[in-house]
Amino acid sequence: MSQSLLLVGAGGLAREVLAAARAVPGEFTVRGLLDDDPARHGSDVDGVPVLGPSDLVHEHTDDQVLVCVASPGRPEGRANVVRRLDLPAERYATLVHPAASVAHGVELGAGTVLLAGAVITAPQRVGAHVLAMPHVLFTHDDLVGDFATCAGRATLAGGVVVAESAYLGAGSLVRQGVRIGSRAVIGMGAVVLADVPDGETWVGVPAKPLIPS
């Protein structure tokens, strides 16, 4: 029997997560989407209705939940939604696309989503509410913290630490042993060769702090 699932957020990421859920036959049935924008209520996303605001998760107590919110402009956005909803961990699903490759012994936290082509090469702990978009690569001994977002083709060499709510842009590369700080943002295509402090945005090859204009 499939598990009924609610997606919080009705934007592009929700469409990707919906497609991933549909790619796992018999495991999930997406009942609906929840979004705090009233203009979306009553509409549908790829055939699934937008039922109302996110607080409806407290009424649909038999449904599991995934929070589909991610933005480099607000790297802590998903964490803020999860903390506001204040659900127990067991209410959150963990979704792995069948085209992802996850080594035996990997532990995935509640609410984590791995999209198609994501690869985790060796046993490690991946935090809660982590988002790995298509073709993300985690190699040996990485430590990916809660609420981290890794956009498509982001790559971690061995022993990388990604702290809570960090955002790694599409195609970014992180050298072995480097730490990406909490709420740090790594630009698209950046090559990170040194530790990135909490809350900073680094861009370029090699990556350097972005100086506000």
In the sheet with 64-67, reading across from the earlier edge strand, the strands are 44-45, 48-52, 28-34, 3-8, 64-67
140 in active site: yes
Question: Could you tell me the end-to-end alpha-carbon distance of the chain, in angstroms, rounded to an integer?
Answer: 55
- Tokens representing 197 are 């402090």
- CA angle (79 as vertex; 76, 82 as ends), nearest 5: 155
Catalytic residue among 58, 97, 129, 140, which? 140
Question: Which residues lie below 8 Å from residue 59, measured CB to CB, with a gap of 6+?
Answer: none
Cα 183 from Cα 140, distance rounded (Å) = 23
User: In angstroms, what is the C-alpha Rg of the chain?
Assistant: 17
What are residue 50's DSSP bridge partners? 33
d(CA 115, CA 118): 6
**Contact (CB, 8 A) for 10 and 69:** no
Mind telling me the catalytic residues? 140
